[in-house]
A and B are shown apart, each in its own frame.
Chain A
Amino acid sequence: MIEVEKLSKYYDERAAIADLSFDIGRGEVIGFLGLNGAGKSTTLRILGCVLLPTSGSVRIDGKDLASQPHEIRKQIGFLPDTPPLYDEMTVGDYLRFVARLRGMESNKIEGAVREAEEKTALSDAHEVVISSLSHGFRQRVGVAQAIVHKPALLILDEPTSGLDPVQIVQMRELIRGLRGHHTILLSSHILSEISQTCDRLLVIHDGRLVGQGTENELAGSGSGQVELEVVGTTERGLGDRVINVLKASGLVKNVVIKNESSGLVSLTVEAPSTLRPQIVRALVAADIDIQRIDYGAPELESIFMQLTKTSQGAS
């Protein structure tokens, strides 16, 4: 549905995004993952027809974003990083205004507004003035304005930013509820957030795509690795034995002894997390007792750190 090819955006001399290319299929829920300033917002603002790219092309349903912006804008619902709300309007008036602005036929507007309010749990707030709403409600009105005209493509820039834990859960439920009705692109720098809601992740760092796929694919890919910590007991020279066993098994890339004292050895093992059972079996088969085995860091976080570190090393 979306084909992005060699997309670049320069602010003066600085590249906010450089040579970004990816495809997104109809109905997919895609997460943009990246640190602050990585180029997530810039990419979403280009797809949302707010910004024009410096170079490269974006095609949505075969239509080119630069030459047919009007056709594309009708198919898009965009929630920027701050929800674009007119504080003095009531929720109902605001959604009616947005529906008209996006070119909906007037006889369908009333029903569409009610439907958007139901999906975002705003039916009770229909007559409430927006300025009196709390942050969580404002964010929901932001989502409602993006879906009111039933767009094929929904773009949500950090929909959970600034929400409290309960509101984050509600927003996650809300986005799950929208699955199937729209192709959804959402961005976040909160890793757990995005892995639970999305089918596929695009990891952006310094304006470049450094990895894409499901969480498992990213974890299994060569660049995605986690640290394992092994603690053993008994005889001297154990550390060297563990290293020899692991190296001989061909499962791991690198093993470093962190700490060795009487009968206790801590090691940092660099290996894909999916190989954990094999590593355990190899050590047990070599008659080594394992006291503790852990992920070095929460999974997605370490994938992310690894991906961004690799790209920094390359550049």
Chain B
Amino acid sequence: MSQILLIARRELASYLRSWNGYIIIAILLAVGGLLFNSAVLGGAEKRSSEVVAFFFFGASGFVPIASVFFTMRLIAEERQTGTVNLLYSSPITDGQIVLGKYFSALVFMMIFLLLTSYMPMLVLVNGKVSWGHLASGYLGLLLLGSACIAIGTFGSSLAKSQILAVVITTAIVVAMLTCWYLAKVTDRPLNDLFSALALHGIHFPPFSQGIVHMRDVVYYLGVTYVALFSATRVLEARRWR
């Protein structure tokens, strides 16, 4: 466990020292804030819970984008600079390397999510917000983020360069998002399969409404597990080539 934390801490410290993370967060916060402003503060009056639900639904679009950029460097950069040889020759397992990398990006995602929290708080000025609704929404965002970051870690483990990592991760995330659309245009039993697999479709909306289904929690944790397991296998396989 201490070795996982060691890797996660170094990774996070290095990310906080570079500009990339801040730039990505700044852009996403600016675009998100503008959307929130135009969609919520203008136009007809709305109920508080509608506004909060809208915020979470919108934010769930930003989480995958943020994940792609937060994770692109994780393992690809170590391969690019050759530092992966230090990790490989040290008494740690490949699983510990992957988990350390994953946690560092997850913490950065938490920082990003924390910074978005001013938007639902604005609702408090003229309305009421249920804390349960907020907690459920942020739990959903965090679970979605966890799944996307795990996929990004996997993408980064496959790629030799960071650009390639972005391409691979984006392809996987987009493919899993479009499962929701495939579910709409296919017949039984395929549509059940696609909707169960979809990264957003049926699994996220309940969170933004303030409802937590065990089914959805298990889905996101499952995707996280499978992606991290695959990334570990990729690292192990690299030792053979």
Within 8 A of A (CB), among B89-138: 89-93
Partner-binding segment picked from A73-81, A168-176, A243-251, A267-275? A73-81
In the complex, A52 has a CB within 8 A of chain B: yes
Question: How many angstroms between the C-alpha atoms of A49 and B14 in the bound complex?
Answer: 26
Question: How many angstroms between the C-alpha atoms of A103 and B83 in the bound complex?
Answer: 18
Which listed residue (B6, B17, B85) contacts A101, Cβ 8 A?
B6
CB distance from A292 to the nearest CB of B (A): 49
Contact with A along B75-96 (1 / 0, CB 8 A): 0000001111111111111000
Give every chain B residue within 8 A of A121 (Cβ-Cβ).
Answer: none
In the complex, B10 has a CB within 8 A of chain A: yes
Partner-binding segment picked from A25-33, A82-90, A188-196, A197-205? A82-90
In the complex, B38 has a CB within 8 A of chain A: no
Known: A52-B239, A86-B10, A88-B14. A73 touches B90 (CB 8 A): yes
Give every chain B residue within 8 A of A276 (Cβ-Cβ).
Answer: none
CB distance from B3 to the nearest CB of A (A): 7
In the complex, B215 has a CB within 8 A of chain A: no
B88 touches A50 (CB 8 A): yes
In the complex, B47 has a CB within 8 A of chain A: no
Known: A50-B239, A51-B239. A84 touches B14 (CB 8 A): no
A contact patch SS:
loop
Question: How many angstroms between the C-alpha atoms of A49 and B91 in the bound complex?
Answer: 9
B89 touches A50 (CB 8 A): yes
Question: How many angstroms between the C-alpha atoms of A49 and B3 in the bound complex?
Answer: 18
B91 touches A84 (CB 8 A): no
Give every chain B residue within 8 A of A49 (Cβ-Cβ).
Answer: 88-89
CB distance from A107 to the nearest CB of B (A): 14
Contact with B along A55-81 (1 / 0, CB 8 A): 000000000000000110110101011
B86 touches A98 (CB 8 A): yes
Give every chain B residue within 8 A of A85 (Cβ-Cβ).
Answer: 81, 83
Within 8 A of B (CB), among A16-49: 45, 48-49
Give every chain B residue within 8 A of A88 (Cβ-Cβ).
Answer: 14, 17-18
Closest 5 CB pairs of A and B: A84-B86, A73-B91, A78-B89, A84-B83, A82-B82
Instruction: Give the A-binding residues of B (Cβ under 8 A).
Output: 3, 6-7, 10, 14, 17-18, 81-93, 239-241
Instruction: Give the B-binding residues of A (Cβ under 8 A).
Output: 11, 45, 48-52, 70-71, 73-74, 76, 78, 80-89, 97-98, 100-103, 145
5 A–B pairs (Cβ distance < 8 Å), ordered by A: A52-B240, A70-B93, A78-B89, A101-B92, A102-B90
